[in-house]
Structure 1
C-alpha cells in the first residue's frame, strides 16, 4: 500500500521573462510515497530544480496544487511555508549556502535555535560528527574544502530530523571522490532518520540508487523508471 507524503496535482509554473511569460512546468501530477527515494533527472532546462522548489514551497505553483504531509502548500503564505519547512523539511543545494561568518557548528545550530530546540548545539555537534566533521566544528567555511562545506550543509539539513529531505544536485560542485562520499552520506542520513528523499541529479550512479526515477523533458514527466514506478 502506498502512503504519499508529497503529492502534486496538475501543477503548472509560469515565470516572468524579459520577452514575456515563460512556461516552466506543464500539468505535472506526481506522488512521492513515505520513505521513498525519488530521483529527478533530465536535460538542463527540463524543469527538475523548479519541480523540487515547488515540492519545498520555495517556489509557488501558478496552477494546480502541491500537498506535503497532508498540508496544501499552495494555500500557505510565506511565513507559514517557512515554518512548515523548518519543522518538516531539509534542503540541500548545489551551492552550500553557508553563513561565512559562522563556524560549522554555528551554521548547523542556528536553524535549530530559531526553531526553539534547547539542545541545538548538542544536536548540531552530533550531526557534524555523523558526517565526519568532528574535528572541524570550530572551522569557518573559508577554512574548509568544498566537500567539507557540503557535509556541513548535509548536517544542517538533517539536524531537525526532517520528514522530507530535498537535494538539488548535491554532488554537482564536487570531484568524483567527494561526490561519492556525499552520496553515501546522503543515503545514510535518509536511513538514519527515516526521511523521504527527493533529489535532482545528472549523476547516473546516484539516480541508480533511488527507488524510482522520474525523467523530465520540456517541463513534463517523460518517463518513470524503477521498482516503484508502476505503483
Structure 2
C-alpha cells in the first residue's frame, strides 16, 4: 500500500491563534500572542528564544498545564481548551510525559516509587515491574531503592526521564532538561532523551537554550516577546 506523498499527515498537536494571559500584581500580563503552529507525529521540535520570550509558557499550553486564554489547542484530535482540570489531568496521564529542569521528584519516595507513581495512578497492576524495567533502561537499576537526596543531579534527571516515559506517552515535553546539569551530565541526558524518543517513537517538544541541543531537533521555532518570530512563523506556515 503506497502512501500519497502530497498528503499532509494530521498534526499530533495543533495551536490556532493561542494566547495566554496571567494575572500579575498589577493586573493581566499577556504572555503569548496568537500562536499558530502544527507539530507532526514523530517530529522533534525545539523552542528557543531569549529569557522571558514565552518558551516555557508555550510548552505548558501545549501540554494543558496552562489553559490558553484564547484560541484553540488540539492534541491527538482532542480540544484541550474545552477540557476541565480533571479531564486535562487524565489526558496528560494517558498521553503525555513531561520533564522539567528541576526534576520534581517526590523526596519521600525511592527512585522506583517515583517512576511507578504515574502507573499506579492509572491503576496499572504491574506498575513496579514496569518501573524497574524503565530504571534499567536509563542505567539506574542499581539505584532503585535510593531516595532523590541520595542521588546526583544527573541521576535524578534520569529518574525523571524514566518517570516521564514509563507510560509510553505519545507526546514528550521537556523544559530545559539539561538546565541544572553540568556539561557531561547534560550531554548524557540528551543522548538518553533522543535514544528513548527513537525507541518509543514519541513526539518530542523541547525548550532549550543550548545551541547544540537545538541543532539535533528536526525543526526549531524561535519566540520573541510571546510571538513566533517572523522567520519561524513563515516556516511554520509552509
What's the TM-score, normalizing by structure 2? 0.94
How much has 1:2 moved relative to structure 2?
3.0
Give the corresponding residue for 2:64: 57
Please give the alpha-carbon distance, in whole angstroms, between the structure 1 residues aligned to 2:10 and 2:42: 9
Unaligned runs of 5+ in 1: none
Q: Secondary structure at the match of 1:224?
A: helix
Please give the alpha-carbon distance, in whole angstroms, between the structure 2 residues aligned to 1:9 and 1:86: 24
2:197 matches 1:194: no
Please give the alpha-carbon distance, in whole angstroms, between the structure 2 residues aligned to 1:117 and 1:224: 41
Please give the alpha-carbon distance, in whole angstroms, between the structure 2 residues aligned to 1:142 and 1:107: 13
CA contact (8 A) 2:37 2:236 kept: no
How much has 1:161 moved relative to structure 2?
0.2
Choose from 26, 33, 45 the match for 1:38. Answer: 45
Unaligned runs of 5+ in 2: 1-7
Please give the alpha-carbon distance, in whole angstroms, between the structure 2 residues aligned to 1:176 and 1:194: 26
Please give the alpha-carbon distance, in whole angstroms, between the structure 1 residues aligned to 2:145 and 2:20: 42
CA contact (8 A) 1:212 1:224 kept: no
- Root-mean-square deviation (Å): 1.2
Please give the alpha-carbon distance, in whole angstroms, between the structure 1 residues aligned to 2:83 and 2:120: 23
Choose from 64, 75, 80 the match for 1:73. Answer: 80
Choose from 216, 224, 227 the match for 2:232. Answer: 224
How much has 1:111 moved relative to structure 2?
1.2
1:166-202 Cα deviation digits (max 9, x unpaired) = 0000000000000000001111111111000000000
Aligned residues: 229
How much has 1:55 moved relative to structure 2?
0.5
2:183 matches 1:176: yes
Q: Secondary structure at the match of 1:113?
A: helix
How much has 1:46 moved relative to structure 2?
0.2
How much has 1:214 moved relative to structure 2?
0.2
Q: Which has the higher strand share?
A: 1
Within 5 Å, which residues of 2 pair with 1:1-231? 1-222=8-229, 223-224=231-232, 231=238
Once superposed, which parts of structure 1, at least 4 consecutive aligned residues long, lie more than 3 Å away?
A: 228-231
CA contact (8 A) 2:73 2:79 kept: yes
